[in-house]
């Protein structure tokens, strides 16, 4: 049976999937990319990273700046960032105990990506707003 244009498109897409001959990355990198995108695109991670870009911060300072984040969510977010090596945690032997969080070199690279996205938004935000308005008008 001869192949159709649809079959050819599907074969082309399949070739780009992890492990395929045209894949952008291997299956392991693909899975890690999906996982990290989910983490970075969550509601809190980039806000916490942004606060830490101002320098070492205590937990309560971060929570005061990131409006609306619960104690539990901040703990979870910091734990994920610590696990991935984007943040360090330093406990000082003082009374009362003091703990500070700080971006690592890897965390700063994430901050650079966030700044790039913010610049893109600044440069193209009006285009996005205009497109949204036009889309909504056409659907109304």
Domain containing residue 104: 26-139
Q: Is residue 15 part of a domain?
A: no
Residue found under tokens 């001959």: 21
Distance CA 11, CA 109 (A): 36
Q: Average model confidence (pLDDT) for the chain? A: 90
Q: Is residue 10 part of a domain?
A: no
Q: Give the pLDDT band of residue 1 (cuts 50, 70, 90).
A: low
The pLDDT tens digits of the residues spanning 37-78 come to 888 889 999 999 999 999 999 999 999 999 999 999 999 999
Q: Given its phi and psi angles, is residue 90 left (phi above 0), alpha (psi -120 to 50 degrees) or beta?
A: beta
- Sequence length of the chain is 140
Q: Is residue 7 part of a domain?
A: no
């Amino acid at each position: 049976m001869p192949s159709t244009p649809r079959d050819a498109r599907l074969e082309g897409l399949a070739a780009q999937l992890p492990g395929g001959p045209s894949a952008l990355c291997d299956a392991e990198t693909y899975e890690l990319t999906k996982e990290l995108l989910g983490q970075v695109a969550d509601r809190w991670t980039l806000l916490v990273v942004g606060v830490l870009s101002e320098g070492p911060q205590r937990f309560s300072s971060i929570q005061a700046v990131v409006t609306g984040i619960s104690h539990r969510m901040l703990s979870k977010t910091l734990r994920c960032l610590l696990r991935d090596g984007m943040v360090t945690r330093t406990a000082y032997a003082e009374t009362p105990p003091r703990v500070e969080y700080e971006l690592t070199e890897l965390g700063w690279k994430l901050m650079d990506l966030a700044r790039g996205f913010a610049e893109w938004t600044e440069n193209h935000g009006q285009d996005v707003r205009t497109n949204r308005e036009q889309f909504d008008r056409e659907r109304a």
